[in-house]
Amino acid sequence: MIFIGLDVSKISTALCIEKNDEVKIYSYTTKKNNNNWLKCTSNFINYRNIVYNYDLETDYSKSEILKLIEFDKITDMIVKDIFDNYNKKDKIRIAIEGYSYNSRGPIFDLIEFTTTLKNKLLKKIKNENDIIIISPMTLKTEVCKMIYLPRIELTGKKKVKSILHYENKYGKSAIKFDKWDMLYAFIDSNIDMDIKDWIKLNIDSISKNKEVPKPLDDVIDSIFLKETIKKF
pLDDT digits (tens, 9 = 90+) for 44-71: 999 999 999 999 999 999 999 999 999 9
DSSP conformational letter for 95: E
Cα 108 to Cα 90: distance, rounded to the nearest angstrom: 34
Dihedrals phi, psi of 168, to nearest 5 degrees: -80, -175
The pLDDT value recorded for residue 35 is: 87
The pLDDT value recorded for residue 104 is: 63
Band the pLDDT of 105: cuts 50, 70, 90.
Answer: low
Band the pLDDT of 101: cuts 50, 70, 90.
Answer: low
Q: Do 228 and 21 meet the contact criterion of CB atoms below 8 Å apart?
A: no
221: helix, coil or strand? Answer: helix
The pLDDT value recorded for residue 99 is: 86
- Domain 2-147+188-229 coded CATH 3.30.420: yes
Q: Do 17 and 23 meet the contact criterion of CB atoms below 8 Å apart?
A: yes
What is the mean pLDDT of the segment spanning 136-142? 96
The pLDDT value recorded for residue 78 is: 98
Cα 228 to Cα 232: distance, rounded to the nearest angstrom: 7
Q: What is the pTM of this model?
A: 0.94
> What percent of the chain stands above pLDDT 90?
82
Helix axes 216-229, 136-147, angle to 10 degrees: 80
Domain boundaries, the chain: 2-147+188-229
The pLDDT value recorded for residue 192 is: 95
pLDDT exceeds 80 at position 158: no
Dihedrals phi, psi of 35, to nearest 5 degrees: -60, 135
What is the mean pLDDT of the segment spanning 125-148? 94
